[in-house]
């Protein structure tokens, strides 16, 4: 899996930008606010069809413009694939148009068919909160990993989220006396079916993390903190659900906990609560490396690794762990400080922004 080039037009800070990537390693050097994260965001956008951080997708269109475009050419199993995303603000020359158009080789695609053609693993400073941050952050991580390799998972997530929104609306109408509880049955069945699939895949993934071994000399593992979904659980929470007009059980309430255990000790420690900052970062690195192996295992190819200015955030030992994986797949690295990667033999291409 190789991305050959990237073409940006009115994307974020770039009016026009074309980049040819090295087959192995490309290092992009630029000072603060020069657009490094924007470039990796655009590559990741081609991979997932979504921004990893924009609140609203039109934020990605260059200020003052109506249309932004990202395209890239890939080589997948020695075949050429052209990906393109066109973003608008919903209006073009006074006419209503789609806010986002996705295409592969010139053919329009739905999100769940577009995502995953290009496989990437993105690692940036924001990930350093993965172990210690909020549950929503960890759920998004699980979804990102599974969505890369499982089209059915992508479909299930979209359908589940829509189902929960509809179900919550109906709960509100029941509370207001405008609908009857029996109307829940349809949405219950839909979210249980999709929710079961989501939970089982998340359990598999966390099982995979635990099979990948440890980093350093402490045993490390992840435990799935699952919120099961079933008719029985809905019955149990019926009163509270109607009162709050919120679906209270199901995978949208899932979490997982990263734990370590010192050698020859029995006690496990929850890293989010008891870990030092360095230990929490080791946990994050463990998860990101597991993500790489998981995507590789399920797609028979190494995903493109996108490292956003991560070296300056890691201590020596962890930096070496990341560096040792760089040569194993196409890698695109950004840095504000070229010293962090200088004199490094594997560099194929050095670009300055
Ligand atoms: N829609 C947009 N239109 C125009 N400019 C934008 C848009 N969105 C973001 N920018 C600008 O893009 C610039 C570069 O952002 P980016 O985050 O890529 O920089 P960076 O090189 O990663 O910086 P740092 O080293 O601080 O992480 C910022 O100054 C930001 O204001
Ligand atoms: Mg940045």
- 284 falls in which pLDDT band (50, 70, 90)? very high
Residue with tokens 């909160």: 129
Q: How many whole angstroms from 85 Cα to the centroid of ligand 1?
A: 19
**Residue 136 neighbours by CB under 8 Å, 6+ apart:** none
Q: Which of 9, 37, 56, 338 to mutate to test the pocket of ligand 1 (most atoms within 8 A of CB)?
A: 37
Beta strand ranges found along the chain (DSSP E): 2-11, 14-20, 25-29, 67-76, 79-88, 91-92, 95-96, 100-104, 107-109, 120-123, 219-225, 255-261, 268-270, 304-308, 331-335, 349-352
Q: Which of 11, 35, 62, 337 to mutate to test the pocket of ligand 1 (most atoms within 8 A of CB)?
A: 35
- 318 falls in which pLDDT band (50, 70, 90)? confident
Closest residue by Cα to atom 9, ligand 1, is: 12
Q: Where are the domains of the chain?
A: 1-119+301-353, 127-300
Q: How many whole angstroms from 34 Cα to the centroid of ligand 1?
A: 6
- 345 falls in which pLDDT band (50, 70, 90)? low
Q: What per-residue confidence (pLDDT) applies to 262?
A: 81
Closest residue by Cα to atom 2, ligand 1, is: 12
- Nearest ligand 1 atom to the CA of 68 is 1
Q: Is 221 helix (H, G, I), strand (E, B) or coil?
A: strand
* Topology alike, domains 1-119+301-353 and 127-300: no
- Which of 12-21, 219-228, 313-322 has the lowest average pLDDT? 313-322
Angle ∠(35,86,307) on CA atoms, nearest 5 = 35
Task: Enumerate residues lining ligand 1, CB below 6 A.
Answer: 12-13, 30, 32-38, 59, 61-63, 309, 336
- Candidates 2.40.37.10, 3.40.50.300, 1.20.1050.90, 1.10.340.30; correct CATH number of 127-300? 1.20.1050.90
Q: What per-residue confidence (pLDDT) applies to 264?
A: 77
Mean pLDDT of the chain: 94
Q: Which of 6, 11, 13 to mutate to test the pocket of ligand 1 (most atoms within 8 A of CB)?
A: 13
Q: How many whole angstroms from 336 Cα to the centroid of ligand 2?
A: 8
Closest residue by Cα to atom 12, ligand 1, is: 13
Q: How many whole angstroms from 311 Cα to the centroid of ligand 1?
A: 20
Query: pLDDT tens across 145-166, in order?
Result: 999 899 999 999 999 999 999 9
Instruction: Note whether 211 and 219 are within 8 A (CB).
Output: no
Closest residue by Cα to atom 11, ligand 1, is: 13
Query: pLDDT tens across 197-221, in order?
Result: 999 999 999 999 999 988 877 889 9
The whole-number average pLDDT for the span 52-69 is 96
Superfamily of domain 1-119+301-353: P-loop containing nucleotide triphosphate hydrolases (3.40.50.300)
- Pairing type for strands 349-352 and 25-29 reads parallel
213 burial type by CB count under 10 A (0-12 exposed, 13-18 middle, 19+ buried): exposed
- Which of 13-22, 167-176, 204-213, 275-284 has the lowest average pLDDT? 275-284
- Nearest ligand 1 atom to the CA of 39 is 18
- Which of 49-53, 257-261, 319-323 has the lowest average pLDDT? 319-323
Closest residue by Cα to atom 18, ligand 1, is: 35
- 346 falls in which pLDDT band (50, 70, 90)? low
Q: How many whole angstroms from 334 Cα to the centroid of ligand 1?
A: 13
Closest residue by Cα to atom 17, ligand 1, is: 37
- Nearest ligand 1 atom to the CA of 125 is 27
| 19: its two tokens | 């980049």
């Amino acid at each position: 899996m190789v991305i050959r080039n990237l073409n940006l037009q009115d994307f974020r800070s770039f009016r026009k930008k074309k980049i040819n990537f090295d087959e192995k390693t490309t290092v992009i050097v630029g000072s603060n606010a020069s657009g490094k994260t924007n470039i990796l965001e655009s590559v990741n956008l081609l991979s997932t069809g979504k921004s990893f951080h924009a609140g609203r997708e039109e934020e990605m269109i260059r200020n003052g413009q109506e249309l932004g475009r990202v395209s890239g050419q890939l080589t997948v199993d020695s075949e050429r694939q052209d990906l393109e995303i066109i973003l608008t603000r919903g209006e073009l020359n006074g006419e209503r148009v789609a806010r986002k158009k996705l295409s592969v080789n010139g053919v329009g695609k739905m999100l769940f068919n577009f995502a995953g053609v290009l496989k990437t693993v993105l690692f940036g400073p924001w990930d350093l909160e993965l172990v210690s941050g909020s549950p929503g952050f960890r759920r998004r991580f699980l979804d990102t990993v599974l969505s890369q390799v499982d089209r059915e998972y992508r479909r299930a997530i979209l359908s589940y989220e829509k189902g929960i929104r509809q179900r919550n609306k109906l709960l509100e109408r029941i509370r207001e006396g405008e609908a009857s509880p029996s109307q829940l049955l349809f949405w219950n069945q839909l979210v249980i079916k999709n929710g079961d699939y989501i939970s089982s895949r998340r359990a598999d993934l966390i099982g995979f993390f635990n099979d990948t071994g440890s980093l350093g000399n402490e045993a490390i593992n992840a435990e799935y903190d699952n919120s099961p979904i079933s008719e029985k659980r809905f019955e149990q929470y019926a009163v509270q659900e109607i009162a709050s007009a919120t679906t209270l059980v199901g995978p949208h309430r899932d979490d997982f906990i990263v734990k370590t255990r010192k050698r020859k000790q029995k006690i496990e420690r929850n890293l989010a609560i008891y870990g030092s900052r360095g230990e929490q970062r080791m946990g994050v690195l463990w998860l990101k490396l597991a993500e790489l192996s998981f995507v590789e295992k399920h797609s028979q190819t190494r995903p493109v690794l996108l490292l956003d200015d991560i070296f300056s955030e890691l201590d020596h030992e962890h930096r070496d762990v990341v560096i040792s994986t760089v040569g194993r797949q196409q890698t695109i690295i950004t840095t504000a400080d070229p010293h962090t990667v200088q004199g490094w033999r594997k560099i194929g291409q050095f670009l300055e922004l």
